[in-house]
Structure 1
Amino acid sequence: MPLNKSSLDPGLCPLCGGPNRCASETGRLTGQAQPPCWCMATPIPADVLARIPAPARGLACVCRRCAQAGQAAPAGGLL
């Protein structure tokens, strides 16, 4: 089934489908302030960002495991 914006779960990694543990999404869902998300301090390699399907770009964060899977040239944290 193709990924589209209406079926996208922002709490899941768009690469592996596992929980991304995004503090920003947790805050949005619970209405409670969260500490800064882990991704704000973790460089995410450009090759990892390039693998995110177009419909998920800017809508769902990758998980820490996928972010650290390709330790190439860092591109930044927030997607």
Structure 2
Amino acid sequence: MNANRCPACGQPNSCAQAASESEVTHCWCFEVEVQPQTLQQLPPEALNRACLCPRCAGAVHIAASREHDREPD
């Protein structure tokens, strides 16, 4: 399994940890709560092997809703 690819869609996952040679690197996914249903749809061999991409993890939707919440009325 390629740790730089999303196990759900196969697109690049933008994982800072997979791209880094150091042990701990801050990644975008640290700020996102992935829904359990999303993880349940993955094959068991993919769990804890590679990050989802922002779209599959729901980060795009979450970021858009946060931006909307910040907009002044």
AA partner of residue 22 (structure 1): C
* Alpha-carbon separation, structure 1, partners of 2:25 and 2:17: 9
Secondary structure class of the residue paired with 2:20: helix
**RMSD of aligned Cα (Å):** 2.1
1:39 aligns with 2:32: no
AA partner of residue 21 (structure 1): S
Q: Shift in Å at residue 68 of structure 1?
A: 0.7
Higher helix share: 2
User: Alpha carbons of 1:23 and 1:50: their partners in 2 closer, same or farther (altered >3 Å)?
Assistant: same
> Would you identify which runs of 4 or more consecutive aligned residues in structure 1 move more than 6 Å?
none
Q: Shift in Å at residue 45 of structure 1?
A: 0.6
Query: 5+ unaligned residues in a row in structure 1: which ranges?
Result: 1-7, 72-79
Q: Shift in Å at residue 33 of structure 1?
A: 8.0
Q: Is the 8 A contact 1:26 1:34 kept in 2?
A: no
* Alpha-carbon separation, structure 1, partners of 2:3 and 2:29: 14
Q: Which residue of 2 aligns with 1:13?
A: 6
Match of 1:60 among 47, 50, 53: 50
* Alpha-carbon separation, structure 2, partners of 1:19 and 1:33: 20
Q: Deviations over 1:4-44 (max 9, x none)?
A: xxxx111000000000010000103xxx6885101101111
1:22 aligns with 2:15: yes
